[in-house]
A and B are shown apart, each in its own frame.
Chain A
């Protein structure tokens, strides 16, 4: 009974010859012209012996051997290699899993060689495990073949070690070559890939994309680019298809790039860019980046494009920041370049409407590897409101300080005046109380002296009167201290003095809702006067006015007007009180005259005012209509003549 034999050779003559020989020997023979066809047959055919041509297009004999050896149902098959290059390339056929090897030579010897193989394939022959290449001694070495083989070896090494996956598939899309990188990419061993449909290494959308591409017009360059990669075994890959023309129709070489890492890196960079963009866009303040040369804007957030006129114009003209010079000022950029460091500047921008805007400009350098400033980041804060607030704070602080200073001066004046006043009050009170008993004693003593009394008693009474005089003198000198504490003339600023004095009463005036209006002359000269006495005048007039308005709940104002006159100043004090009764108007400067409740008025206030003005050689008059308030008009000369040379005081 003959054996089942498969012969694979791309040479039809050889194929036919061997088939005839074997069939004559009573064997069942099937033939295949290439590896792919062979693999097809082997799916359903289990031969005892397989003849494999070593040099074949598509799948080479070498590979076919390895595939066959990996097929479990072909474990026992006797594998014979037909090598046309046995003389040029030393072949360890056993390493390929082959059992025998025939060196192809002349056709006439072939029958003998096949017969020898059949011998070896017999159970007895298999024991022999012959290492001989049958017919090797009958062929000669061809130099050209050796060179070609050598160069093929180089290409094989290159292909084996390339990081790109290389496939080659036949027109029917069966894989006929896959390098190790391709096998690794797909995750399937080379042996199993060979003969498989190329497109089936893809799934889902990637499969569709590849099929669509391969079904498309053949002329266009077939390519799956990095920009739109397909998935292969979970990796993102780009594909390049290269047609290879050959006799049996064009096969195709596919170069596969694994772009996963790159894509992931790109994705990461994209993500970071989006994050940074979001960050920059989220800033409510203008943020932009300029080149260090020429200060062209290379990046600007929308706030910058909205708020900065120059950038707004650029983006309106469509040239998104392109060749758009940064908005002024350039000083921060210059500084950053010069210092190679960040800088902070304030910049006042004059708006079209004349409004001033104050910006706080932060500029930061971006360096290249050599430490040169290549770009500059600018960030602007509108600090106009902050500046205003600071200024307001500053101003109010100044005003407060001034008020405090005034208050302190006023307080000192008040303390001094109060001290003097209390000493005066005490002294005159004490004097009064001492002088009265002294008066009684003295009077009695004088009365006694009128009697007829002994000389010794008269002498005693004289002594009593001397002592009474002595006590009187001391008491009077104490009292006169309070009255004549000196008349100190200096140059007085009437406005400042009034302000100081009014400050003393400010608390009381506020309590009574009295406002003080000042209409001060710009050119009022300083005058010669005793500051303390003049302050007393103001104090008395203001407190009189306040008392006069105590019953009027609505409009409570004290109006102070000053004006410069020929030889002096005029000061007018008006109030909005009830005015002065016509009966009383002639008496208001009289001592002890008062319209106030008992205990409130001394009746001396206006009399003191009158006296002081008189001492300053000035005049005072009063104008009033009942119900329309009162006005005191004071004239004070700029220069004081000798005190006794004063003109008589106006009395109206």
Chain B
């Protein structure tokens, strides 16, 4: 059951995507990688991941745009925003836009897994 859960990693930094992929594989998920917004939307459509980690500042479609589009495409998708941006009221703003969790870079993998397991537990 656990093995089937797909997590889409969206970040324009491939090195980060790769390292996160290693981690997610290690804890038993199926990670997918997208380094731009368009690619991410395609994967969401084709692979139907349950969870998405999302960077905000990216060239082309930014995280916020993706958030808007993805919410329409798959309202159940659990979205964890992982960003280096920190502005006041960011959490409320993202919540308002449909994100479920916010992690600031550099991330604590423990917190990420807590967020994921929190959602997965809710799924189960």
- Of B39-47, B69-77, B103-111, B116-124, the stretch lying at the interface with chain A is B103-111
A480 contacts which chain B residues (CB < 8 A)?
86
Question: Are B19 and A431 within 8 A (Cβ)?
Answer: no
B109 contacts which chain A residues (CB < 8 A)?
443, 446-447
B1 contacts which chain A residues (CB < 8 A)?
none
Tell me the bound Cα distance from A439 to B104 in angstroms. Answer: 9
Question: Are B85 and A428 within 8 A (Cβ)?
Answer: yes
CB distance from A595 to the nearest CB of B (A): 13
A432, CB-defined interface residue at 8 Å: yes
Question: Are B86 and A479 within 8 A (Cβ)?
Answer: yes
Question: What residue in chain A is nearest B14 (Cβ atoms)?
Answer: A440
CB contacts under 8 Å to A, within B17-76, are 19-20, 22-23, 26, 57, 62, 64-65
In this complex, the interface size class of chain B, counting residues with CB under 8 Å from chain A, is: 20 to 34
Binary CB contact string for chain B from 71 to 114 against chain A (1 if under 8 A, 0 otherwise): 00000000000101111110001001100000011111100000
Binary CB contact string for chain A from 43 to 73 against chain B (1 if under 8 A, 0 otherwise): 0000000000000000000000000000000
Taking A441-B106, A443-B109, A590-B97 as contacts, is the C-beta distance between A431 and B84 under 8 angstroms?
A: yes
Tell me the bound Cα distance from A516 to B97 in angstroms. Answer: 36
A127, CB-defined interface residue at 8 Å: no
Partner among A428, A436, A447, A472 whose Cβ is within 8 Å of the Cβ of B26? A447
Tell me the bound Cα distance from A450 to B113 in angstroms. Answer: 13
B89 contacts which chain A residues (CB < 8 A)?
611
CB distance from B66 to the nearest CB of A (A): 11
Question: Are B107 and A440 within 8 A (Cβ)?
Answer: no
Question: Are A443 and B85 within 8 A (Cβ)?
Answer: no
A524, CB-defined interface residue at 8 Å: no
Question: Are A440 and B19 within 8 A (Cβ)?
Answer: yes
Partner among B13, B62, B86, B97 whose Cβ is within 8 Å of the Cβ of A436? B13
Q: With contacts A446-B108, A450-B26, A611-B88 known, what are 11 further pairs, Cβ within 8 A?
A: A435-B84, A436-B13, A436-B105, A439-B84, A443-B16, A443-B20, A443-B106, A447-B19, A447-B22, A450-B23, A592-B65
B97 contacts which chain A residues (CB < 8 A)?
590
Question: What residue in chain B is nearest A483 (Cβ atoms)?
Answer: B88
CB distance from B68 to the nearest CB of A (A): 9
A472 contacts which chain B residues (CB < 8 A)?
106
CB contacts under 8 Å to B, within A432-490, are 432, 435-436, 438-444, 446-447, 450, 468, 472, 476, 479-480, 483-484
CB distance from B86 to the nearest CB of A (A): 6
A25, CB-defined interface residue at 8 Å: no
Q: How many residues of A contact B (CB 8 A)?
A: 28
A221, CB-defined interface residue at 8 Å: no
For A431, A444, A607, the residue with the greatest tally of chain B CB atoms inside 10 Å of its CB is: A444
Q: Which 5 pairs of residues, A with B, have the shortest CB-CB distance? A: A435-B84, A439-B105, A442-B106, A439-B106, A592-B64
Tell me the bound Cα distance from A590 to B23 in angstroms. Answer: 34
A611 contacts which chain B residues (CB < 8 A)?
88-89
B107 contacts which chain A residues (CB < 8 A)?
439, 442-443
A-side interface mostly: helix
Name 26 A/B residue pairs within 8 A (Cβ), A-sorted: A428-B85, A435-B105, A436-B13, A436-B105, A438-B106, A439-B106, A439-B107, A440-B13, A441-B106, A442-B106, A443-B20, A443-B109, A446-B23, A446-B109, A447-B22, A447-B26, A476-B86, A483-B86, A483-B88, A484-B88, A590-B93, A591-B64, A592-B62, A592-B64, A592-B65, A603-B64
Binary CB contact string for chain A from 255 to 281 against chain B (1 if under 8 A, 0 otherwise): 000000000000000000000000000
CB contacts under 8 Å to B, within A581-633, are 590-592, 603, 607, 611
For B13, B15, B20, B106, the residue with the greatest tally of chain A CB atoms inside 10 Å of its CB is: B106
Tell me the bound Cα distance from A447 to B93 in angstroms. Answer: 31
A446 contacts which chain B residues (CB < 8 A)?
23, 108-109
CB distance from B83 to the nearest CB of A (A): 9
Tell me the bound Cα distance from A163 to B87 in angstroms. Answer: 123
Question: Are B57 and A468 within 8 A (Cβ)?
Answer: no
Question: Are A468 and B106 within 8 A (Cβ)?
Answer: yes
CB distance from A78 to the nearest CB of B (A): 156
Tell me the bound Cα distance from A439 to B107 in angstroms. Answer: 6
B13 contacts which chain A residues (CB < 8 A)?
436, 439-440
B106 contacts which chain A residues (CB < 8 A)?
435, 438-439, 441-443, 468, 472
A439 contacts which chain B residues (CB < 8 A)?
13, 16, 82, 84, 105-107
Question: Are A591 and B93 within 8 A (Cβ)?
Answer: yes
CB distance from A583 to the nearest CB of B (A): 13
CB distance from A513 to the nearest CB of B (A): 34
Tell me the bound Cα distance from A439 to B12 in angstroms. Answer: 13
CB distance from A199 to the nearest CB of B (A): 129
Tell me the bound Cα distance from A444 to B17 in angstroms. Answer: 10
